[in-house]
Amino acid sequence: MTPPLGDIAHIGHAQLFTPDLDASVAFFTDYLGLTVNGSQGDSVHLRTYDDYEHHSLVLTARAEPGLGRLALRTSSEEALQRRVAALEEAGRAGRWVEDEPGIGKLYVTTDPDGHEHALYWESEHYRAPDELRPALKNQPQAKPNRGVGVRRLDHVNFLAADVLANAEFQEHLLGARPTEQIRLDSGRIAARWLTFTDKSYDVVYTEDWTGSSGRLHHIAFAADTREDILRAADLAIDTGVFIETGPHKHAIQQTFFLYVYEPGGNRIELCNPLTRLVLAPDWPLITWTEAERAKGQAWGLRTIESFHTHGTPPVA
């Protein structure tokens, strides 16, 4: 049975592995405008200016790039315990850890593909030092005067060997709502977008054409406007940041986007999804066909991966 909506309040933060920690930190601070908020061992904690918590991103030194932990904050201690009980009953028992600054106990488990998820409730609200104090008291931190100045971590797109199994993990055990999907002519679900909130999506699963498990497609940060995305593209070419595709508009979810790569090898999306909300409690799951996805993005841009080449539809 699908749990009640609202047990997961929002995405808290993501962890990325990088083989070049210093260069990755420089990318996220100088280009994206995040602020370093401490370090611990081989990890550096960074935050977007409008995040109320200690950190939005953890960069950890590893030999290969990829996604570490996706942390989800629950709406209460009771909600956390409900999700833990549901996970354990479903055979996805995890472990309790307390290893991140500004956050209490985390319950760490995995989805069917092996991506690590951490659920938590206890969290300290960020208090900006004098040099970062905002003029407006309803903003946690002053807007940065460098780089793109992204507002928050927006979503994570996982690659998965079995999209449906992983999407149903999010739906049945964590309480996400599916909003859009791609169904191939064979009937196989090749991608699904899900939300925990009124945003149109928080997590995505896209079929990994290599058949691998546990890989990342991208993490995304939200900017205020489309103009910010265009400015991000200009900043990228001026500073040597590699642009993979965009700026453009996705057909699915209608997100205005830019894909770049950070020096450690992780794909990063800059997006402007702020005008699209799912307010209908009975929102219908929108299904895109193989032929519709073959048309490309909203204005005809070819997508990154072609299902004619790799046996899976392009990422939206």
Identify the pLDDT of residue 295. 81
Identify the pLDDT of residue 225. 93
Give the pair of three-digit tokens for residue 59.
């960069």
Identify the pLDDT of residue 305. 55
pLDDT tens column, 227-240? 999 999 999 999 99
Identify the pLDDT of residue 246. 87
Please identify every stretch of the chain with a pLDDT value under 70, giving residue numbers as ranges. Answer: 1-5, 274-275, 303-316
Say what the pTM is: 0.93
Identify the pLDDT of residue 304. 64
Q: Which residue has the tokens 């985390």?
A: 106
HEC sequence for 189-250: EEEEEEECCCECCCEEEEECCCCCCCCEEEEEEECCCHHHHHHHHHHHHHHCCEEEEEEEEC
Buried b / exposed e over 30-58, threshold 16 CB at 10 Å, is: ebbbbbebeeeeebbbbbbbbbebbbbbb
Identify the CATH class of 8-127+150-308: alpha beta
* 270 DSSP assignment: E
Identify the pLDDT of residue 306. 37
Distance of alpha carbon 237 from alpha carbon 243, whole angstroms:
8
C-alpha gyration radius of the chain: 19
Identify the pLDDT of residue 38. 96
Identify the pLDDT of residue 307. 34
